[in-house]
Amino acid sequence: MADTKLIVFFNTKGGIYKTTTSIMTAYELAKDKDKKILLWDLDQQANLTQYVYKTNHDDKTTLDMLKDVRADEIIIKSFNKSYPNIDLIPSDILMAKFERELFSFPMREQFLARWYMNNFDALSKYDYIFCDLSPKYDLTAMNALYLADSVVVLIKDKNVSSLRGADYFKQLWDIDRSYFNKEDNIKATVLVGFEKKKTELSKEFDSYLKEFDVLRSMMLNTYIRKNEFIEKALLKKLSLTDFLKDTKDHFSRQEFTAMLEELKEKGVL
């Protein structure tokens, strides 16, 4: 039986590569055919579902968990021929109801943890589960964060609100998780969208970053540069290394691989 690692890339700031990083990490890990991976979309924007699967679909979604639908009936198996060891729990716009309906459940912050345990046979065969959230610290997020073995906070270069979002999230989660007796599962921060060019904004960002000792101390040495290759690979539904396989020594491939190595060293992957 696999020793499942459930991972969330998170920040309360939107548009800072959370979904992309989940998908590209999953594609990269899937090259080891012995590993089984589940992508779990919990965002009503359903960007992950759209990127990896389809824009419109009639499949069951995370929302059906509220009706106690079993994992086997929700999980879409082997949807990408290049990576048949990746499965999907999709989302769609109706996920907006999930948050509202959760409110009426007892111990609502642990609803997904209960569903997970009720479906342990189906879920425990995965080596990695990536939960993709909207950029909101809401009840849905709390449910996934409570389940997570590791949370990796993404911070976007020159984006001061992504730093504030990271700090705000850490403060809230530290309070809430201690209430639930949950261990500190924020294991790393990663700087994404890095651009060498110094601007007025980068000075402000760099000096602001100095104030956040904890976030800074958790930051990986590897950063992910702003580049078009990740986006292109995403649209081709390919891992970065497969997309760039005919290109020698490409920085984008190297930095992404280095990020995964560091996350392995930290026990996240």
Residue 40 C-beta: closest distance to ligand ATP, Å: 14
Q: Tell me: does residue 19 bind Mg ion (CB under 5 A).
A: yes
Q: Tell me: does residue 130 bind ligand ATP (CB under 6 A).
A: no
- For ligand ATP, the binding residue among 80, 135, 169, 233 (CB under 6 A) is 135
From the list Mg ion, ligand ATP, none, pick the one residue 241 interacts with, judged by a Cβ distance below 5 to 8 Å according to partner type. Answer: none
Between residues 71 and 129, which has the closer beta carbon with respect to ligand ATP? 129
Q: Tell me: does residue 227 bind ligand ATP (CB under 6 A).
A: yes
Q: Tell me: does residue 140 bind Mg ion (CB under 5 A).
A: no
Q: Tell me: does residue 80 bind ligand ATP (CB under 6 A).
A: no
- Cα–Cα distance for residue pair 234/17, rounded to 1 Å: 11
Residues 21-50 that bind Mg ion (CB under 5 A): 47
> Terminal CA-to-CA distance of the chain, rounded, Å?
16
- Cα–Cα distance for residue pair 248/195, rounded to 1 Å: 22
Q: Tell me: does residue 267 bind ligand ATP (CB under 6 A).
A: no
> Whose CA is closest to 5, among 155, 87, 136, 123?
123
- Cα–Cα distance for residue pair 258/198, rounded to 1 Å: 24
Q: Give the bridge partners for 151, in sequence order.
A: 8, 186
What's at 44, amino acid-wise? Q
Residues 34-63 that bind ligand ATP (CB under 6 A): 43, 45, 47
Q: Tell me: does residue 161 bind ligand ATP (CB under 6 A).
A: no
From the list Mg ion, ligand ATP, none, pick the one residue 261 interacts with, judged by a Cβ distance below 5 to 8 Å according to partner type. Answer: none
Phi, psi of 42 (to 5 degrees): -115, 15
Phi, psi of 154 (to 5 degrees): -90, 140
